[in-house]
Structure 1
Amino acid sequence: MDIKKVVIVGGGTAGWLAANHLGKALLNTEGVSVTLIESPDIPTIGVGEGTVPAIRKSLQSFGISETEFITQCDVTFKQSIKFSNWLNKDNHGSDNSFHHLFNIPSPLGGDLTPFWLNNRDYDYSNLVSPQFVACEALKAPKKITTPEYAGALGYAYHLNAAKFAKLLAKNGRDRFCVEHIIANVSEVKLNVSGAVGSLVTDTHGELVYDFYIDCTGFEALIIEKALKVPFVDKSAQLLVDRAIAVQVPTNINAPIPPFTIATAHQAGWIWDIALTNRRGVGFVYSTKYMDDETAISKLDKYLGGVLSDLSYRVLPMKVGYREKFWHQNCVCLGLAQGFLEPLEATSILLTDFAASYIANRFPKSVEQIQSIQPQFNQVMEYAWERVVEFIKLHYCLSDRTDSQFWIDNRDPSTIPDELKRRLSLWESYVPNREDFFSKFEVFDLDNYLYVLYGMKYHTQVKNLTNEQLHLANQQSLQIAKMGKQLAEELPDHRELLNKIKEHGLQSI
């Protein structure tokens, strides 16, 4: 049987990312339609405000103007995540920090990591990338004359998630002819084969489709409640399970950091994301090690005592992913697929990755599902496991001893086996490209280098020869010169955003 009618259940960032990917892929396929059903009563979670550089490729492929995106979604540029206090204050200072930058390390060729390991007095990210200086100077990654989606430095975005969903919705409807239905789905009916047969709605009656995309968030209306696909719990490895999220108004002239700030605390960490008119702040913690009252008090202290004047939400976090991501004639995406935690902006990343994958391999018939489904499930499980490992890396490398939370995060029983294997290898060898053999490594060599050595990981390497030391020193001086030049030439972050709002960027 041919697949002609495709439905996405649920809006928000996940639903409308899927609608744009599928709408674009299926637009010129005769007889095939894409519909999105969105509840009028369920608000967007709206705390997924950080992205990774891959989102630029998707937005450009959708035909969305970067100028329009920046001006309509309160966007700021994100060039890094700056991790503060993730290491022992006694050993590394009370203001210890490191950057996970978006530019490749050692851009002049070769690898400066062995040089750093022979002289660990340097800040790793400052040594290997000119982007460090630009970030610390609060510079934008491009100029007003730089074309859309291009930059002098690598970047992603911070954004208003609710406004982003609206922009994606408009683009999906107008450009890719996605039908938009406002309705509540009250029942999911299965057919005799156990696949999804129809949806019962409150305003449009019973609706029949051939293929279903579940973007209903934590409710997982189709994949869990109807199809009974189990959830793989990862809370034994990733210990945080709750977040307090708040939006903090800012002065329209306040400086804007071009990076996410992730500040570790006694039982987790705090995200701090600056948009053009506010900050999105979240206190992430483990209820095993900190009660809600203490968490609220500590967030209030971080914000300077203004929390009582603001509206905040306490959000439970069910950490893990689906046992299967594609079952029968249903694929789940977004929070219905799984959730780990906000560190490294993995939620939008995995949604975009999965939606793009399914759009590029969308089955023409029900019969084709049997050949495509197992591969999709295998790829997505691989991707999720690698993300679990990368997030855990930040915790298990910390040498903090000030609370049981950090001590327990180093317990080998909480560390995934593959991560333990890699860390054992990297005790003797600097990571290289061959260690990341799959193109489905969501985080690869560059990401690991910044985190491993930003957190002072000890890799035993041979002493460099005098010639090697000389060449590496010359290269580090050249990178420092590049960083100084970028800091002088690139505009102030807020200054560029104001210019974009007034003049726009050059379209490609």
Structure 2
Amino acid sequence: MDSVEKGRIRKVVIAGGGTAGWVAACALTHQFRDLLDITLIESEQIGTVGVGESTIPTIRTFHRLLQIDEREFLSSVAGSFKLSISFENWKRPGDRYFHPFGTTGMNTWSCDFHQFWLDSLRRGMKSELGDFCLETVASRADRFALFDQAGAGAQQWSMRWVKPAALERADVSYAYHFDAVLYAAFLRRKCEGRGLTRVEGKIREVRQDSGSGYVQALVLEDGQVVEGDLFIDCTGFRGLLIEQTLKTGYEDWNNWLPCDRAVAMQIESVEPPVPYTRAIAHEAGWRWHIALQHRVGCGWVFSSAHMSDDEAAAKLAAANDNVPVVREPWIVPFRTGRRLKVWNKNVVSLGLASSFIEPLESTSIHLTLSAVTRLVQMFPHAGIDESMVDRYNDVSRAELEHVRDFVIMHYHLNQRDEPLWRECREMRLPDELARRIQVFRDSAYAWQGEDELFRLDSWTHVMLGQGVVPRDHHPLTRGLGDADLTRLFDAVRQPINRAVEAMPSHGKFIERYCPADPSVWSLRRAPMPAPAGA
């Protein structure tokens, strides 16, 4: 048995920087600064994809674990807040719905709120499901406030923005928009002084043990040799360690997720940022629009079988005509799917090196955070044990497939008439996703598994938003009279409306809470190297 397998893990080497590399470095140095020797190797000559700008609320939990101050973080990354995703033209051109982060209505132990809402439609009552979700109502109004912040100073500051009567709903579920390159730089600063060694350079060679195949060292172009016991591959799509060296293999999901390219660009802000991500479907895919403090990140995601690079770039430019460009368009090729093992021998892959599910539901950074958290919890201090590796891979696979299925659902449930969308509507679904949709279509019943990311509310809002009309719903809802149902709805809507009316605009809140230093803006305008290919 190789010594790495039976020996203690003392030296961890992170290959690659970017968001994945620096997230790993931050988490490991925070948790194991006195137990591990941690080295990160990156080259400033190698660009990053740099388009990961939208997140989900789990990032706030991760930041709390790392004791990251929210206001300092947002000021450093020109960040804005995110309450939801606005899906436009997905069911058919002209339609729009929000997928909010918050809870909707008030559930009972016997049936969920959306069941009562469906029965109200049967009775002829007029409303939208989003009327009963604070995050959706605030998104529609472009408003934002924090009702409950850890720390007395922040709490007192934010309370000035809301009237006491509005505090009946005392929590807001939110995430962030931020500049991914600035985020990596912010995390790097957090790691400095915690015992991390950063090495500048390109990796020329990966040395393996001749018997076990375990990675022993990375050799840089200048001849420097960096040895390690555990290696973390954050080299992006190329997967230098996990794939090019260990030949792990890849499971392709293009048969379910047809888009394989994106054109990305950055433009100046011409209006205040909105507190949601825009995902706008088009004839061959969709485009994103993400408003930060100083600029807007936008991109055109498409299937190369249905649109050329030139046509996609022209359409993205036309969609943002007459707006000054911060960074000219660049092509990002990608391949949806996952490594057959995200942990192979003594290499753990993170970020794009491990998997890629297109950014429709903003899960890319979350999956990296989740994988790093899992690694901390299952860290092989006494040596690598195959049973633990198998468990890590099994949990990772289940998590990825759950997210994959949720994204597939957006493509499949459509009423558009272009070739790509017809193909998606007719494709054979993964069995679990097909069951979920069929159960909801039959009975309006939705659920969230114990370890699943997307909540019942998420499944409900997306399926209804994409045009699934349940044939029936829970019979207990019929036992509530019209007057009682009206009182229930008013009890939900009125506090939400009062809270949103008391909120400032999203832009005003940012100006007072976390304005970015203008030097951050000028720094980010500097030319960057082209991103590495897929």
TM-score by length of 1: 0.91
Change (3 A) 1:34 1:288: same
Q: How does 1:479-498 map to 2 (within 5 A)?
A: 479-498=492-511
Is residue 2:186 matched to residue 1:188? no
Partner of 1:25: 31
Cα distance in 2, alignment partners of residues 288 and 502 from structure 1:
43
Residue 220 (str. 1) matches residue 276 (str. 2)? no
The aligned residue for residue 165 of structure 2 is none
Mean Cα deviation higher: 445-454 or 209-218: 445-454
Counterpart mapping for 1:8-407 below 5 A: 8-29=14-35, 32-89=36-93, 94=94, 96-107=95-106, 111-118=112-119, 119=121, 124-142=128-146, 147=151, 152-174=171-193, 176-192=194-210, 193-203=212-222, 205-251=224-270, 254-304=271-321, 311-366=328-383, 368-401=384-417, 403-407=418-422
Deviations 1:423-459 (A, max 9, x none): 1222223334xx43331x1223222112112223122
Which residue does the alignment assign to 2:488? 475
Aligned mates of 2:238, 2:149 — CA distance in 1: 45
2:423 counterpart of 1:422: no
- The answer (yes or no) to whether the contact 1:82–1:261 under 8 Å persists in 2 is yes
Q: Distance in 1 between matches of 2:377 and 2:196?
A: 17
How far does residue 49 in structure 1 lie from its aligned partner after superposition? 0.1
Give the whole-Å Cα distance in 1 for the aligned partners of 2:96 and 2:511.
29
Shift of 1:210: 0.4
Q: Unaligned stretches of 5+ in structure 2?
A: 1-6, 159-169, 518-534
Summarize the Cα distance change of 1:374–1:428 in structure 2 as closer, same or farther, 3 Å threshold.
Answer: same
Q: Distance in 2 between matches of 1:70 and 1:140?
A: 15
Alignment-derived partner of residue 409 in structure 1: 424
Superposed displacement of residue 363, structure 1 = 0.4
Q: Which whole-Å CA distance do the structure 1 matches of 2:188 and 2:331 have between them?
A: 28
Summarize deviations over 1:257-290 as a string: whole Å, max 9, x none: 1000111111111100000011000111111111
The code of the aligned residue for 1:334 comes to: G
Q: Secondary structure at the match of 1:448?
A: helix
Specify the code of the residue in structure 2 equivalent to 1:24.
H
5 Å-filtered alignment, 1:437-448, equals: 437-439=449-451, 441-448=452-459
How many Å separate the matches in 2 of 1:472 and 1:396?
34
Q: 1:344-364, CA deviations, whole angstroms, 9 ceiling, x for partnerless residues?
A: 111101111001100111001
**Offset at residue 479 of structure 1 (A):** 2.5
SS state at 2:486 partner: helix
CA deviation vs aligned residue, 1:28-84 (integer Å, no higher than 9, x gap): 43xx21111111211221100000000001111111111110111000000000001
Q: Any conservation in 2 of the 1:431–1:445 contact (CA below 8 Å)?
A: no
Report the Cα distance in structure 2 between the residues aligned to 1:503 and 1:323, rounded to whole angstroms: 41
Q: More displaced, 33-42 or 327-336?
A: 33-42
Indicate conservation of the 8 Å contact 1:98/1:125, yes or no.
Answer: no
Picking from 457, 466, 469, the partner of 1:458 is 469
Aligned-residue offset at 1:484: 1.6
How far, CA to CA, are the matches of 2:303 and 2:31 in structure 1?
A: 41
Give the Å deviation of 1:307.
8.2
Query: Cα gap change, 1:123/1:158 in structure 2, threshold over 3 Å: closer, same or farther?
Result: farther
Moved more, 492-501 or 222-231: 492-501
Q: Do the aligned partners of 1:101 and 1:125 also contact (CA within 8 Å) in 2?
A: no
What TM-score does the superposition give when structure 2 sets the normalisation length? Answer: 0.86
Distance verdict in 2 for CA 1:477–1:422, change over 3 Å = same
How far the C-alpha of 1:328 sits from its partner, in A, is 0.4
1:5 paired with 2:11, answer yes
C-alpha distance in 2 between matches for 1:146 and 1:489: 21
Partner letter of residue 38 of structure 1? E
Q: What whole-Å deviation, never above 9, does each CA across 1:295-353 have from its counterpart, x for those lacking one?
A: 22221221135588961101111111100010100100000001121101111011110
Measure how far apart 1:101 and its partner are: 0.5
Q: State the distance in 2 between where 1:141 and 1:212 align.
A: 42
Relative to structure 1, is the Cα distance of residues 177 and 430 closer, same or farther in structure 2, using a 3 angstrom cutoff?
A: farther
Instruction: Identify which range, 387-396 or 105-114, moves more after superposition.
Output: 105-114
Structure 2: distance between partners of 1:503 and 1:50: 17
The alignment partner of 2:97 has SS state of: strand
User: Counterpart of 1:375 in 2: which secondary structure?
Assistant: helix
Change (3 A) 1:124 1:187: farther
Q: Identity of paired residues, percent?
A: 33
Aligned equivalents of 2:238 and 2:505: distance in 1? 42
Whichever residue aligns with residue 37 of structure 1, its letter is I
| Matched residue SS, 2:41 | strand
Tell me if the contact between 2:131 and 2:137 (Cα under 8 Å) persists in the aligned partners: no
Deviation, structure 1 residue 468: 5.2
Write the letter of the residue equivalent to 1:275.
L
Distance (Å, rounded) in 2 between the aligned partners of 1:277 and 1:3: 43
Secondary structure, aligned partner of 1:364: coil
Distance in 2, matches of 1:396 and 1:248, equals: 31
Range 117-126 or range 224-233, more displaced: 117-126
Matched AA of 1:483 = I
CA distance in 1, matches of 2:489, 2:413: 26
SS at match of 1:218: helix
Kept after mapping to 1: 8 A contact 2:14/2:21: yes
Q: Which SS does the other structure have where 2:321 is aligned? A: coil
Partner of 2:520: none
Tell me how far apart the structure 2 counterparts of residues 498 and 8 of structure 1 sit (CA, whole Å): 37
The question of whether the paired residues in 2 share the 8 Å contact of 1:238 and 1:319 is answered with yes
Q: Are positions 1:431 and 2:445 aligned together?
A: yes
- 1:144–1:499 Cα contact (<8 Å) kept: no
Structure 1 residues 163, 183: CA separation in 2 closer, same or farther (over 3 Å shift)?
same
1:289 and 1:171, CA in 2 relative to 1: closer, same or farther beyond 3 A? same
Q: How many pairs does the alignment contain? A: 488
* Deviation by residue 1:93-148 (Cα, 9 ceiling, x = unmatched): x2x21111011122465632123323177564423313222111111141698756
Q: Distance in 2 between matches of 1:489 and 1:503?
A: 25
